[in-house]
Amino acid sequence: MVVMTPEAGEAEIAAVRARLETTGVHVLVLPGELTTAIGAIGDPERVAELGLEGMAGVDRVVPISRPYKLASSEFAHHEPTVFAVDGHMIGAPSTFALIAGPCTVESRDQTLRVARTVAAAGACMLRGGAFKPRTSPFAFKGLGPPGLEILSEARAETGLPVVTELLDAAHAPLVAEHADVIQIGARNMQNYALLEVAGKLGKPVLLKRGLSSSLDELLMAADYVLKEGNERVILCERGIRTFETATRFTLDLSAVPWLKLHTHLPVIVDPSHASGDRRLVEPLARAAAAVGADGIIVEVHEDPEHALCDGPQALYASDFAGFAERVAAHAALDGRALS
């Protein structure tokens, strides 16, 4: 929609119309009491490239259609995307995915023990980072390739599929060899080259919302993966930067029902990174179930005080079974059972 200034005359309106028509869009001139608006129905990309904002008599150009194409439920894709990861349904309105594990693979023993605990409590996937994005370059960055081997061993023993982060395109073949789901971390949500690499690996992609990214930007990032022909994308709300400093990030729970309205992709919530405080993880996990999330991803450790990364937000492994039971009860209120 092109809104003209009150001073715009016939010649300026005609010039805008003529320029729009060069793209083949359908043009509708809508004269109002004060200003004239010109509607353009057709390819928004081509209209965006016309430089209409700079034309004489144009006040503003207001996009009406959404900027994300493939992730949108507005165009061709109305039905929710549902897929199985090793037999566990993701995105079905009747299932709730409980993804749990350590922040970081620290050792074989630590990872296998947590994997057994979360498997026994009904988790459908094991999380754990072998390559960690750390704010300080001097912090522990993960075990790297041996960490991936440990995750594979945990899968072999527990049967849990593994979700782990792809931090660098150079690691893609190795990570794809060990991961069942490729995680793109919040800090890389707008690393478009990495998104394209992840989209080509033939595995589901868990895409975390950027620390300061809008939901439109999240869905456009998802489009980068989807355009590689990969339909299996899981969106993850993990908290965003706001003025509030009491919690590590601010969990944007309204993102869940908003995304459910505007995209066909499954949506999960990460209450661990959002809050940074294990005492908040259960209430936020229950809230995630209440607002219709398709699952949660949470961090668990046997000895969080000695964790190499994110200890304060890790649930005690000894509490995990009770946690899972209570969250499952809340998911059941929304008609969902653990997948």
Residues near ligand PEP (CB under 6 A): 103, 129, 133, 165, 185-187, 208, 238, 270, 273
Least distance CB 301 / ligand PEP (angstroms): 13
Closest residue by Cα to residue 63 from 80, 39, 96: 39
> What's the gap between Cα 120 and its chain centre?
27
For residues 53-82, one letter each, b for 16 or more C-beta atoms within 10 angstroms of the residue's C-beta and e for the rest, the string is eebebbbebeeeebebbbbbbeeebeebbb
Residue nearest to ligand PEP according to CB distances in the complex: 185
220 in helix, strand or coil? Answer: helix
Based on the shown chain and the rule CB under 5 A, indicate whether residue 163 belongs to the binding site for Mn ion.
Answer: no
With CB under 5 to 8 Å by kind, the binding choice for 238 among ligand PEP, Mn ion, none is ligand PEP
The answer to whether 99 and 125 have CB atoms below 8 angstroms apart is: yes
Least distance CB 205 / ligand PEP (angstroms): 13
Based on the shown chain and the rule CB under 5 A, indicate whether residue 310 belongs to the binding site for Mn ion.
Answer: yes
Least distance CB 187 / ligand PEP (angstroms): 6
Spatial separation of the C-alpha atoms in residues 300 and 311, rounded to whole Å:
9
With CB under 5 to 8 Å by kind, the binding choice for 286 among ligand PEP, Mn ion, none is none
With CB under 5 to 8 Å by kind, the binding choice for 186 among ligand PEP, Mn ion, none is ligand PEP
Least distance CB 286 / ligand PEP (angstroms): 20
Binding part of the chain for Mn ion, among 71-79, 99-107, 220-228, 231-239 by CB under 5 A, reads 99-107
Binding part of the chain for Mn ion, among 88-96, 164-172, 227-235, 305-313 by CB under 5 A, reads 305-313
The contacts found for 249-253 with CB under 8 angstroms, 24 or more apart, are 249/211, 249/273, 249/274, 249/275, 249/276, 250/274, 251/275, 251/284, 252/209, 253/284, 253/287, 253/288, 253/291
Length of the chain: 339
Of 282 and 310, CB closest to Mn ion: 310
Least distance CB 181 / Mn ion (angstroms): 16
Of 133 and 144, CB closest to ligand PEP: 133
Classify residue 128 by burial, with Cβ atoms within 10 Å: 0-12, 13-18, 19+.
buried
Of 16 and 181, CB closest to ligand PEP: 181
Of 122 and 128, CB closest to ligand PEP: 128
Least distance CB 262 / ligand PEP (angstroms): 21
Contact with Mn ion (CB under 5 A) among 50, 70, 103, 198: 103
Of 263 and 272, CB closest to Mn ion: 272
With CB under 5 to 8 Å by kind, the binding choice for 113 among ligand PEP, Mn ion, none is none
Cα 96 to Cα 53, 85, 162: the distances in Å are 46, 13, 17
Of 223 and 270, CB closest to ligand PEP: 270
Of 187 and 227, CB closest to ligand PEP: 187
The residues, any chain, with a CB within 8 Å of residue 131's CB and separated by 6 or more, are 141, 142, 144, 147, 164, 165, 166, 167, 168, 171, 175
Least distance CB 166 / ligand PEP (angstroms): 11
The answer to whether 142 and 131 have CB atoms below 8 angstroms apart is: yes
The answer to whether 157 and 167 have CB atoms below 8 angstroms apart is: no
In what helix (H) or strand (E) does residue 299 lie, and over which residues does it extend?
A: strand 295-301
Binding part of the chain for Mn ion, among 96-104, 161-169, 199-207, 330-338 by CB under 5 A, reads 96-104
Of 270 and 282, CB closest to ligand PEP: 270
The residues, any chain, with a CB within 8 Å of residue 97's CB and separated by 6 or more, are 88, 89, 90, 124, 125, 266, 268, 294, 295, 296, 338, 339
Least distance CB 153 / ligand PEP (angstroms): 20
The contact set with Mn ion (CB under 5 A) reads 103, 310
